Amino acid sequence: MSIFRDGILDGKTAFVTGGTSGINLAIAKRLAKAGAKVAVFGRNEERGAKALAELVEVTGDAAKARYFAGDVRKYETLEAAFQGTAEAFGTIDILVNGAAGNFPAPAVAMSPNGFKSVVDIDLLGTYHACRAAFAHLTKPGGVVLSVSAPQAFIPAPMQAHVCAAKAGVDMLTKVLAMEWGPMGIRVNAIAPGPVDGTEGMARLAGSEEMRKKVADNVALRRFASLDEMAETALFLCTPAASYVTGAIMVADGGQSLYGLGMLAAF
Ligand code: COA
């Protein structure tokens, strides 16, 4: 259910990293449905083509959607994509930092490169996207929204890499809110809990037994839908949140209230 009218983002441009699947694609489609021109960025070109087709279906206009291939770990690929987006759509009003990686593993069982890969995608990638987007962001009026996680502030076994990376994302969010607030740019994050239809949840809770264990440790006793996460993200990207910056909006059904110790069972 939505309280936002269609067209609330008419004339706006959004850029979504990792926007070719999962929560990020749902956010990209929601922003498009609200009227924004949307560019999605991701390294898998097959997924990119599919996401683009879905976005065009939402907008009904191929001129309002773009896919750019790249990896948030490679700064120059982001720079090129922002340039391409600016050439196609003008300045960028909304940046969503969604690209993320995850796999469950104890700290000593993952390789140093496994740890580094997640930190590089989640944290360094978020910094890269913010830095490369800055020149193109609308000032005043720009919005940055990062997709964080409860692991940023709740320690979780098997998730040392994600906890470290997402804690960094939350701090980066708050620092950039301070540095960019005077220019009229709002910088926030959402921390989704378990969401149906995502690769992350398929990896972390693939079996029915595991799904039940996860849901039993959520106050609302269920997973979120992609639409629910997209709606929360939309709120932070609209003028309805015009005085919200430096905020980490926890949208986890109350999962973090219970802690994440149960992840030791993975
Ligand atoms: N368990 C332990 N280590 C793993 C792993 C797993 N399930 N999956 C990947 N790794 C390690 C690899 O072994 C490699 O380290 P090595 O070079 O020492 O062997 C390192 O991670 C990088 O793996 P690689 O295959 O080169 O992929 P990548 O650099 O593209 O990283 C990941 C991608 C690791 C983050 C991967 O999990 C991913 O892309 N996931 C998809 C995105 C996702 O899950 N999104 C949801 C986020 S909530």
How confident is the model over 64-78, as pLDDT tens digits?
Answer: 999 999 999 999 999
Catalytic-residue membership of 148: yes
Ligand 1, atom 14, lies closest to the CA of 114
In the predicted model, is pLDDT for residue 199 greater than 90?
no
Q: Average pLDDT, stretch 80-99?
A: 98
- Which atom of ligand 1 lies at the shortest distance from residue 203's CA? 44
Measured between alpha carbons, how far is 250 from 165 in angstroms, rounded to an integer?
17
Using pLDDT thresholds of 50, 70 and 90, give the confidence band for residue 1.
Answer: confident
Distance CA 181, CA 65 (A): 28
- Tokens matching residue 20: 């070719």
Nearest residue (CA) to ligand 1, atom 2: 110
Provide the b/e sequence for 89-125 (b: ≥16 CB within 10 Å). Answer: beebbbbbbbbbbbbbbeeeebeeeebebbbbbbbbb
Alpha carbons 37 and 241: distance in angstroms, whole number? 20
The predicted structure's pLDDT at residue 260: 87
**Residue 225 is among the residues annotated as catalytic for this protein:** no
- Centre of ligand 1 from the C-alpha of residue 214, in Å: 23
Answer whether residue 240 shows pLDDT above 90: yes
Q: Which residues pair with 223 in a beta bridge?
A: none
- Gap from CA of 201 to ligand 1 centroid (Å): 15
Ligand 1 atom nearest the C-alpha of 118 is 35
Q: How far is the CA of 95 from the centre of ligand 1 (A)?
A: 25
Ligand 1 centroid to 36 CA: how many Å?
32
**Ligand 1 atom 40, closest CA:** 101
Which one is predicted more confidently, 38 or 210? 38
Does position 185 have pLDDT exceeding 70, yes or no?
Answer: yes
CA angle, 247 then 187 then 87, to 5°: 155
Nearest protein Cα to ligand 1, atom 22 = 114
Q: What is the pLDDT of residue 202?
A: 86
Protein residue with its CA nearest to atom 31 in ligand 1? 117
pLDDT band at residue 162 using 50, 70 and 90 as cut-offs: very high
pLDDT at 266: 65
Q: Does pTM surpass 0.85?
A: yes
The Å distance, Cα 152 to ligand 1 centre, comes to: 19
Q: Domains in the chain, start-ordered, CATH in brackets?
A: 13-265 (3.40.50.720)
Report CA Rg, the chain.
17
Looking at residue 264, its pLDDT comes to 72
Structure tokens at 244: 């919200």
Q: What is the CB < 6 Å shell around ligand 1?
A: 100-103, 105, 110-111, 113-114, 117-118, 121, 199-200, 203
